[in-house]
Amino acid sequence: MKWLIIALIILLIIIITIIWTKLTIILDFYHGNDNDHLKLEFKIWFGLIKYKKDIPLIKIDDNSPSIIYEDKTKKGKNEKTSKEEVKQVTENDIQRSLRNAKRLLEHVVGLHSIVKHFLTKVKVKKVEWHSVIGVGDAMYTGVLTGAIWALKGSIVGLISHYMKLKDMPRMTVTPYFQQTVNQTRFRCMFQFRIGQAMLAGIKLIKFWKGGRPHFETKQQSVLSKEHA
């Protein structure tokens, strides 16, 4: 009986620790002409446990209307465990994801309010968004620079409306009037407690309606296309 109580106390401490643990997500995106790089980093306990996802190459396949990218995964504090592979996203993959998203939305009542309430708990820090733009014509470059500033302001406004923006974003738009340039770098940090995400998941289950939706897999999409 004594060991059972000790085990229950330890289990309770672990659950409380997980609930109150803050998850930090660092998003880093770079676009420079034909070179794209996306990096996602997940950290808890001040980086003691972290997981990195690198997508360094994003390009259009020359032989088909699809996107090819490299996927690099790193795990652990010292990032000793890593894996690299090349993946391809086709038009059918995108259509399948959209159909599955529609089916998910149809099965959750009040999804918008659940997501909106969760986003109010998310903290956004260290927003940096720097762009360099040029189209070879001074007038058009000036107009485009103003449009990009307006777009950035709108997006940051949406972020601050739905989430907790903790500090002033650092943004620049640098025009190049004599040459064609298209570069942008976006980096920010999202932070929330794991318990808050768990609560949102519980609410999704609570307001679930109907039976389990049938989500399409890649194999099912291929079979459906062959029989069509």
Chain-wide mean pLDDT for the chain?
78
Mean pLDDT, residues 6-13: 87
42, with CB counted inside 10 A (0-12, 13-18, 19+), is middle
Alpha carbon distance 39, 29 (integer Å): 6
Residue with more model confidence, 26 or 49: 26
pLDDT single digits (tens) 45-81 = 877 888 888 876 655 555 555 555 555 566 665 555 5
Residue with more model confidence, 156 or 83: 156
Q: Is residue 85 within a helix (H) or strand (E), and if so which, with residue range?
A: strand 81-90
Residues in the chain, total: 228
pTM beyond 0.85: the answer is no
pLDDT band (50, 70, 90) for residue 83:
low
Tokens 């690099």 label which residue?
Answer: 72
Extents of the domains making up the chain: 127-191
